[in-house]
Amino acid sequence: MTADGGNQEQWAQTAMFTASEVETQTGVPAATLRQWERRYGFPRPVRDANGYRLYSPGDVRDIGIMLEHQRRGVSAKLAAELTLRGVSVGSAGKLPTAPTPDRTLPRPPVDVPELAHALAQALIGADNARAGDLLAEAHARLPVEDVLTHVMSPALVEIGMLWAGGEITIAHERAASHYLRSRLSALMEIAGGEEGGGGSFGPLVVAACAPGEQHELGLMMLTLALRRRGVRVAYLGANVPLGDLTTFAHERQAQAILLGVNGDWALQGWVAGDWNGKRWVADASPAEDPPTREVARGRVLNGAGTAINSGSASRRPILQRLGLPVFLGGALMNAQPELAAELGGIYAGPDATAATAIISEALDHALQAAPESRQKPRLN
């Protein structure tokens, strides 16, 4: 059993890697994988909705076993046979405890909204085994990004609405969030840490939830999507003070910050300040800055918009004072996209897929504009 209560073998059979990603992990060219598949019936990837092959962690593990057999002088044909029989290197006659499932049979079209609803119901019922089955089915039939956008996210929205309507308790919501957080954490680890999916080169983005923001699942989904795109992402999690976030990002020589803001509560605890090129300097009298904007549900944002009346000169929006471009995502930004610009940031987009494209393209454009410069891209 995994830490989140799911079945380890079920997780091993979850299709999630493209041929190029498997090539990166194992060193086996995609053309060789296809050749093995034709000649030996191994590996056995599934096909996504567009017909592309998707491999599971179990496939990657077995490819490594086959390679090790070959390194010991076993022919490719026999190595494939031994791998399919479950014979590990250095053992003899050890058969697998269960037959490898035939995942090449045609499947009916997947009803994605029904899959999302079923996942929500399983999570509400604390049926982690059922939730794991549903997610395994989703990964076998859909690209990872579609699972995030069209299965996990709608399930979370449904659970949130049931809680808001008093139909379930906060305990139900927390249990569901914990389960999905564990699954996302595992996927993020597989996709790579700050190295991302494309090695240790390229721009670094620091991702964190705004001060007071505890809802991190959406930001985790976007972090996963960015890493799969090859963007290096340092993930800091929930409720990170703005000054600490800025200091960390500059120390790591990041090219951008990604800030998650799901509700107006996450705009109340911002401490205004500046990055002076060496350190973060908080404003001497932030309380003197007047309220600048009323936001959702009539709450007031203090000091987080354009700080004015600071001496005789007007001040820039707070996020333009951090010394790095800041992308903003989350439910509040989706409801009020114009708020991102008022805060001095860049609206990342309505979901993980769109935000990944926007952020990746902006970073690529900035780097191409100054390929020989080590200066950070100017995106805002």
* CATH code (residue 68): 1.10.1660.10
The region of weakest confidence among 4-13, 53-62, 141-150, 266-275 is 4-13
Core vs surface per residue 199-238: b (16+ CB within 10 A) or e: eeebbbbbbbbbbbbebbbbbbbbbbbbbbbbbbbbbbeb
Higher-confidence position of 151 and 10 = 151
Write down the pTM of the prediction.
Answer: 0.68
Number of domains comprising the chain? 3
Can you tell me which residue has the tokens 């046979």?
81
Residue 64 lies in a domain: yes
173 and 203, same domain (yes or no): no
154 and 269, same domain (yes or no): no
Residue 335 to residue 345: CA distance in whole angstroms:
15
171 and 217, same domain (yes or no): no
Residue 380 lies in a domain: no
185 and 271, same domain (yes or no): no
25 and 57, same domain (yes or no): yes
53 and 69, same domain (yes or no): yes
Residue 102 lies in a domain: no
300 and 156, same domain (yes or no): no
Phi, psi (deg, nearest 5) at residue 260? -95, 125
204 and 180, same domain (yes or no): no
Can you tell me which residue has the tokens 């960390």?
248
| Tens-place pLDDT, residues 194-234 | 544 444 457 899 999 999 999 999 999 999 999 888 889 99
Write out the two tokens for 206: 């620091």
Residue 348 lies in a domain: yes
Residue 159 lies in a domain: yes
Residue 336 to residue 338: CA distance in whole angstroms:
5
Residue 98 lies in a domain: no
The domain boundary, picked from 165, 189, 213, lies at 189
173 and 199, same domain (yes or no): no
Residue 277 has pLDDT above 60, yes or no: yes
185 and 200, same domain (yes or no): no
CA torsion, ordered 326, 331, 334, 336, to nearest 10 deg: -90
| Tens-place pLDDT, residues 242-273 | 999 999 999 999 999 999 999 999 998 898 89
Per-residue pLDDT, 40: 83
- Predicted confidence band at 5 (pLDDT cuts at 50, 70, 90)? very low
Residue 97 lies in a domain: no
The domain boundary, picked from 156, 189, 222, lies at 189
48 and 140, same domain (yes or no): no
* C-alpha separations of 166 from 114, 155, 170, 262, 331 in Å: 23, 17, 9, 20, 21
Q: Nearest-5° angle of CA 263, CA 266, CA 267?
A: 105
Q: Which residues are CB-neighbours of 25 under 8 A, at least 6 positions away?
A: 17, 60
Q: What is the CATH number of the domain that holds 184?
A: 1.10.1240.10
Residue 250 lies in a domain: yes
Query: Domain range for residue 125?
Result: 112-189
169 and 206, same domain (yes or no): no
| Tens-place pLDDT, residues 95-115 | 333 334 444 444 556 789 999
- Predicted confidence band at 70 (pLDDT cuts at 50, 70, 90)? confident
